[in-house]
């Protein structure tokens, strides 16, 4: 009986080109999302029967509300972005960037960095592929800076934990740093600081054949990326929110304020110095940043910390050392770090 139903749904889903399943799931999603606070209250107050107002109760309530909220947002957005990404590929992006002038190229490349599928383990082949196609290194750098920094996971976590305003500020400043840093690296004419062997690579210019996808394939890709990304990051999010929920009440407010608050000009550079040796993706760092802000770290300093952890990292620098000479790596790190400092200062003084 159940098996028969299942087969019928699958057949029907195929008939509607894969639209049916996501369409059926959407109302369930909305219903769940609208009632998260009620569900959390129900579990805490009625099922477990804890005393409201107590420390432990409110910590648990925060946790039980926050984890499913962030997870639901992640699933929806990653599904959507997974479908959008299926229209982009590194090969197409490379073709679009070929022959673009410096500033236009930087802007396009940073924007394409958001939607093109990218994994930091592919940074080197991607760099070589771009150089091979004659794309200026400044434009390539805009891509390499924007791709890990501005992505859907960062966006969801920022919206979920800080709201729209901070999320938009992060995206706008992240893109600006990617565009201007790439542009500056291009202006400095640093092509000669790319390892010599790079220019000798004669890559097969034809590249990889384009996969042909139907719309139901694309929906499948949406589901695949949800499974892949959520499967990889859920544990960081739970740990991050647990730390956040724990610190919510137990660490005195303003604990970090004296060191990394607004008044201290050295807060921003200090945050960046701490951030560079650390390596984490957006999923791991954002819940921790939310705790920092709650404990008195100013917004600009926290943003600077977060950007430096995600965009600059020792492991990445070591990987890049294979294809770049140290002068270019130093310029890259220096320029991006300077950009982050400026963003940090602006937010500390404006907001």
Partner 1 sequence: MDIKVLGTGCAKCKKLEQLTRTAVSELGIEATIEKVEDIYKIMQFGVMNTPALVVDGKVVMSGRLPGDKELKELLS
Nearer to partner 1, 106 or 140 (CB): 140
- Look at residue 194 and give its three-state secondary structure: strand
- Look at residue 158 and give its three-state secondary structure: helix
> Are the C-beta atoms of 170 and 117 separated by less than 8 Å?
no
Q: Count of CB atoms within 10 A of residue 221's CB?
A: 19
Query: What is the distance between the alpha carbons of residues 172 and 211, in angstroms, rounded to a whole number?
Result: 32
**Residue 325 found at the interface with partner 1 (CB under 8 A):** no
Site string for partner 1, 74-103 (x = CB under 8 A): ---------------xxx--x---------
* Binding test (CB under 8 A) with partner 1, winner from 5, 31, 119, 350: 119
* Binding test (CB under 8 A) with partner 1, winner from 206, 231, 263, 350: 206
**Residue 340 found at the interface with partner 1 (CB under 8 A):** no
* Binding test (CB under 8 A) with partner 1, winner from 4, 46, 196, 209: 209
Nearer to partner 1, 123 or 304 (CB): 123
**Residue 121 found at the interface with partner 1 (CB under 8 A):** yes
Nearest CA-CA partner of 106 in 173, 184, 172? 184
Least separation in angstroms between residue 339's CB and partner 1 is: 26
Alpha carbon distances (Å) from 299 to 140, 281, 320, 348:
30, 19, 31, 7
**Residue 231 found at the interface with partner 1 (CB under 8 A):** no
> Are the C-beta atoms of 271 and 312 separated by less than 8 Å?
no
Nearer to partner 1, 129 or 148 (CB): 129
Stretch that binds partner 1, among 73-81, 116-124, 281-289, 325-333 (CB under 8 A): 116-124
Alpha carbon distances (Å) from 175 to 112, 113, 351:
11, 9, 20
Nearest CA-CA partner of 208 in 320, 323, 120, 125? 125
Beta partners for residue 324, in sequence order = 194
> Are the C-beta atoms of 308 and 343 separated by less than 8 Å?
no
Written as one string, the DSSP assignment of 76-125 is HHHHHHHHHHTT--HHHHHHHHTT--HHHHHHHHHHHHHHS---GGGHHH
Q: What tokens were used for 89?
A: 């590929």
- Look at residue 327 and give its three-state secondary structure: helix
* Binding test (CB under 8 A) with partner 1, winner from 80, 207, 246, 249: 207
**Residue 159 found at the interface with partner 1 (CB under 8 A):** no
Nearer to partner 1, 218 or 262 (CB): 218
* Binding test (CB under 8 A) with partner 1, winner from 18, 105, 113, 129: 129
Q: Residue 296 gets which letter from DSSP?
A: T
**Residue 4 found at the interface with partner 1 (CB under 8 A):** no
Site string for partner 1, 284-323 (x = CB under 8 A): --------------------------------------x-
* Binding test (CB under 8 A) with partner 1, winner from 99, 125, 252, 277: 125
**Residue 128 found at the interface with partner 1 (CB under 8 A):** yes
Stretch that binds partner 1, among 43-51, 118-126, 167-175, 258-266 (CB under 8 A): 118-126
Least separation in angstroms between residue 208's CB and partner 1 is: 5
> Are the C-beta atoms of 182 and 145 separated by less than 8 Å?
yes
Nearer to partner 1, 61 or 94 (CB): 94
Stretch that binds partner 1, among 19-27, 44-52, 117-125, 142-150 (CB under 8 A): 117-125
- Applying CB under 8 A, the residues found at the interface with partner 1 are 89-91, 94, 117, 119, 121-122, 124-126, 128-129, 132, 197, 201-209, 322
């Amino acid at each position: 009986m159940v098996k028969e139903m299942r087969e019928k749904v699958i057949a029907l889903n195929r008939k509607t080109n894969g639209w049916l399943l996501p369409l059926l799931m959407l109302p369930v999603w909305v219903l769940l999302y609208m009632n998260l606070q009620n569900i959390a209250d129900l579990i805490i107050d009625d099922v477990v029967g804890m005393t409201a107002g107590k420390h432990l109760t409110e910590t648990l309530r925060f946790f039980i509300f926050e984890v499913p909220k962030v997870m639901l947002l992640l699933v929806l957005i990653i599904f959507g972005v997974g479908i959008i990404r299926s229209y982009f590929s590194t090969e197409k992006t490379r073709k679009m960037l070929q022959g673009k002038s410096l500033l236009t190229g930087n802007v396009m490349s940073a924007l394409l960095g958001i939607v093109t599928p990218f994994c930091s383990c592919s940074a080197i082949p991607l760099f070589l592929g771009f150089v091979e196609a004659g794309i200026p290194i400044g434009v390539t750098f805009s891509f390499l800076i924007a791709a890990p920094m501005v992505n859907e996971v960062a966006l969801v976590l920022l919206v979920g934990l800080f709201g729209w305003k901070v999320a938009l500020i992060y995206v706008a400043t992240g893109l600006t740093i990617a565009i201007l840093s790439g542009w500056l690296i291009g202006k400095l004419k640093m092509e000669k600081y790319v390892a010599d062997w790079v220019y000798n690579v004669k890559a097969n210019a034809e590249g990889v054949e384009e996969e042909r996808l139907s719309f139901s394939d694309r929906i499948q890709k949406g589901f695949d990326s949800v499974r892949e990304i959520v499967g990889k990051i859920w544990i960081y999010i739970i740990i991050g929110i647990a730390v956040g929920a724990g610190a919510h009440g137990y660490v005195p407010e303003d604990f970090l304020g004296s060191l990394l608050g607004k008044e201290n000009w050295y807060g921003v550079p200090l945050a960046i110095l701490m951030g560079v040796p650390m390596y984490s993706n957006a999923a791991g760092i954002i819940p921790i940043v939310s705790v920092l802000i709650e404990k008195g770290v100013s917004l600009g300093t926290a943003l600077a910390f977060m950007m430096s952890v995600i965009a600059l990292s020792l492991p990445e620098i070591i990987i890049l050392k294979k294809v770049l000479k140290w002068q270019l790596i130093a310029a890259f790190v220096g320029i991006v770090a300077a950009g982050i400092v400026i963003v940090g200062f602006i937010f500390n003084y404006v907001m």
